[in-house]
Structure formats: C-alpha cells, structure tokens
C-alpha cells in the first residue's frame, strides 16, 4: 500500500515539473530589435531578415549553419544554429530564430522562415462590376 502512494507522488512531481517547464518555454519574449536581443541574458525569439550579401556557411562536419541577420533598424547579428539549413531558407522573406545571444553571436536552437506566399496580395482588377 505504501508503494502505491510513493509511486503516485513521483508521478505527480514529474507531471508538475513538466508543466512548469512547458509554461516557461511558452513565455519566451519576441524581439525585433537586435540591440535588445544582445543585451538580454535569456532565451528570446529574434525576428529579422537574412543578410544575403554575407551569404551563409554550412559546416557539415560540426553540423552547424551560420548566417547574418539584420533587424528593422539595420543592426546586424551573427547566428549559429546547430543543425541543418532549412530547405526554404534562401527564398525566405523573414527569419525568426529562438535562442540566446552570448559570446558575440546568437546561439539558435530553432529557425523559422517565412516565405513569400502565392496567396499574398496580387495585382487583381477589382473594378467592382
């Protein structure tokens, strides 16, 4: 009987710990000003555009993908991502990286790209006839 209570208590503690972790992960701040990103010492979502003039670098041996992003104010930031380059990266109109800025660059844990949509506003004749 005593073992049932211990096992039940362990299940409850694990569940509460998992819920606490998930709550803190969903509470990540969204930043589009890289000056703010560089000054924070916590995980953030940084939004900007890929600096195409600086290209990108894929290191297959270390499995890293490196590129530069620029925010709406023109501030550039180097991003290093442990993983493969997203398939649609070169056609992306904007990039959102999740991670932390330290040691002079952004350590990305996740990359989300926004590509041009075929559903975006097109030149449609809307004369209303």
Q: CATH 1.10.3720.10: does it fit domain 29-114? A: no
End-to-end CA distance of the chain: 79
The pLDDT of residue 69: 95
Per-residue pLDDT of 65-123, as tens digits, reads: 999 999 999 999 999 999 999 988 988 889 999 999 999 999 999 999 987 765 555 54
DSSP assigned state of 74 = S
Distance CA 112, CA 88 (A): 10
Question: What per-residue string of b and e applies to 93-121 under the rule 16 or more CB within 10 Å gives b?
Answer: eebbbbbbbeeeebebeebebeeeeeeee
Please say if the pLDDT value at position 24 is more than 70: no
Three-state secondary-structure class, residue 112: strand
Query: Taking the complete model, does pTM exceed 0.85, yes or no?
Result: no
Average pLDDT over the chain reads 84
How many alpha carbons lie under 13 Å from residue 123 in its C-beta half-sphere?
Answer: 0
Domain ranges of the chain: 29-114
The pLDDT of residue 70: 94
Per-residue pLDDT of 36-70, as tens digits, reads: 889 888 889 999 999 999 989 999 999 999 999 99
């Amino acid at each position: 009987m005593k073992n049932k209570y211990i096992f039940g208590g362990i299940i409850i503690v694990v569940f509460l710990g998992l819920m606490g972790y998930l709550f803190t992960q969903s509470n990540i701040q969204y930043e589009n000003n890289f000056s703010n990103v560089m000054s924070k010492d916590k995980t953030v979502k940084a939004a900007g555009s890929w600096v195409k003039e600086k290209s990108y670098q894929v290191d297959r041996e270390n499995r890293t993908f490196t590129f530069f992003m620029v925010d709406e104010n023109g501030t550039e930031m180097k991003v290093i991502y442990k993983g493969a380059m997203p398939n649609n990266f070169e056609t992306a109109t904007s990039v959102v990286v999740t991670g932390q800025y330290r040691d002079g660059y952004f350590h990305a844990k996740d990359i989300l790209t926004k590509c041009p949509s075929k559903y975006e506003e097109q030149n449609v004749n809307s004369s209303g006839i």
